Amino acid sequence: MSRHHPPSTINCLRYVLIALGLLWFGLDGHAAKIGEMSDTTVLEQAGRFFTFQDPAVRYALLGSMLLGICCGVMGSFIVVRKLALVGDALSHAVLPGVALGFLWNTSKDPVAIFIGATIAGLIGTAAVGAIKHTTKLKEDAALGLVLAAFFSVGICMVTMIQRLPTGNKSGVDKFLFGQAAALGANDVKLMAIITVVTLLVIGLFYKQFLVTSFDAGFARVTGVPVQVMHYTLMLMLAFAVVIALQAVGVVLVSAMLITPAAAAYLLTDRLHRMLILAAIFGMASGAAGAFMSFLGPSLPTGPFMVLGGSAVFGAAFLFAPQHGVIMRWWRRRSRSLRVQRENTLKSIYHVLEARDFKPEGVTAKELAEKRRETLEDILGQLRELRRHDLATLQDDEQTVFLTPDGWQRACAIVRNHRLWELYLTNAAQVAADHVHEDAEKIEHVLGEDVVRQLEKRLNYATHDPHGKLIPGEADMLRGSAPSERITDAVGYGKRT
């Protein structure tokens, strides 16, 4: 079903990568060092950011965008697999690895830190699995355990490193909350390589990842090595966490995994679109975080990136066309208003029916008695009908006449109601005095094609179980009072 999608995913991401590449190589210039920025104003800082003159700015921006892409893509997988908090545990578990990698030659060597952190992350993930399988502790406890245990070991090591003569200037504490400005050329190169590798692996095995994420059983049957796929995913997740560490910080990496992906999840139902959207959102929040933290001397990057992501998520949560809160609220509201209009129309029909459809208007007072509601409520409902051109009001808004449209809707609702009652008594053997409640609900949702099928199934019956006439198509169109039609239908409770 999605055979042609992987290329389109790759295509789109390729353009993004080319754009990033241009940003990296195309601009060249020498400008003031980042250390001098504390005595400039916010506006000057912003100006300097957008001219991209400063290499530190370019590295910070590029790095933040790359990590946004990588985290967004990998985060999508853990969000759809309901593993969101595995990302949290994993990101805390890498800290001892970072410290060990730093100790390797007591300097901030990106490769050593990368390897150490990846190994620690994978051990952490494996420990979660082991605790889950060999004790009766549940997954959430296992995740929390591993998170706290590994992180505390990491904290102890970091505080020990800071005690070393070289340690205090090492910037190893920057790993806690992230400082994009600390990114160097080597860091960004490593990030670019990892991002490209991640995207390639995802692109090549897109179908396998898709199937394993949504239906592991089916994947196994079709010969996909589910376990291998799972561990590959975990490895790449660890990669994403580790390259994000320096800019976002250990504590908040999980947000870069979860939040952009969750926002994308609200906007689409297809995984490939979700991956692209999450990558874009991640990139945007990364860039926003790098920009914001550049404005002040000691502002950490990570929290700003996280807030950027949260803002995107908040917007998606409120305004998403399908799953957004506002659209859902609007849909529910318009549905309940429609149901109320239809109920008013139905009551008008009942009143008309009770006096054999004499061509007179129905008064609001009659309706109020029929519906057992106050006169003000009824008047409000009638005005609502007039607003939708279903009725006209006369005599100082006291008498209501249905328009042809209103008459058709009223007939349709009554028909739906009575057909359903008849169907329940005839086909489902429900007692005639139990069918009304159910029909009250279903009358508003029956579509034309279902009505046609019901009519056919009930042999075009003319009477409902209570002996009332079911309005037919001709009555609706002519605007005439429903009359006996010649049919051989037999319904329960038919009078003749």
**Site map 284..313 versus other proteins, x via CB under 8 A:** ------------x-xxx-xxx-xx--x--x
Binding test (CB under 8 A) with other proteins, winner from 3, 4, 136, 358: 136
Nearest distance, CB of residue 120 and other proteins, angstroms: 14
DSSP designation for 445: T
Nearest distance, CB of residue 452 and other proteins, angstroms: 34
Is 168 near other proteins (CB under 8 A)?
Answer: no
If phi over 0 gives left and psi between -120 and 50 gives alpha, with beta otherwise, what is residue 460?
left
Reference 142, options 154, 153, 131, 126; nearest CA is: 131
Helix (H) or strand (E) holding 442: helix 436-442
Is 235 near other proteins (CB under 8 A)?
Answer: no
Binding test (CB under 8 A) with other proteins, winner from 265, 281, 294, 420: 265
Is 41 near other proteins (CB under 8 A)?
Answer: no
Is 38 near other proteins (CB under 8 A)?
Answer: no
Nearest distance, CB of residue 56 and other proteins, angstroms: 19
The b-or-e profile of 192-230 (16+ CB within 10 A means b, else e) is bebbbebbebbbebbbbbbbbbeebeebeeeebebeebb
Size of the residue set binding other proteins (CB under 8 A): 64
Is 262 near other proteins (CB under 8 A)?
Answer: yes
**Site map 317..356 versus other proteins, x via CB under 8 A:** x-----xxx--x----------------------------
Is 474 near other proteins (CB under 8 A)?
Answer: no
Is 373 near other proteins (CB under 8 A)?
Answer: no
Output 303 or 406, the one with its CB closest to other proteins: 303
- CB atoms closer than 10 angstroms to residue 357: 14
Binding segment for other proteins (CB under 8 A), chosen from 7-15, 130-138, 210-218, 276-284, is: 130-138
Nearest distance, CB of residue 159 and other proteins, angstroms: 4
SS (H, E, C) 282-348: HHHHHHHHHHHHHHCCCCCHHHHHHHHHHHHHHHHHHHCCCCCHHHHHHHHHHHHHHHHHHHHHHHH
How far apart CA 252 and CA 122 sit, in angstroms, is: 18
**Site map 174..203 versus other proteins, x via CB under 8 A:** --xx--------------------------
How far apart CA 444 and CA 390 sit, in angstroms, is: 16
Reference 295, options 1, 28, 47, 461; nearest CA is: 47
Distances (CA, A) of 53 to 20, 30, 34, 170: 16, 6, 11, 26
3-state class (DSSP) for residue 58: helix
Footprint on this chain of other proteins (rule: CB under 8 A): 79, 82-85, 87-88, 103, 131, 134-138, 140-141, 143-145, 147-149, 151-153, 155-161, 163-164, 173, 176-177, 251-252, 254-255, 257-259, 261-262, 265-266, 296, 298-300, 302-304, 306-307, 310, 313, 317, 323-325, 328
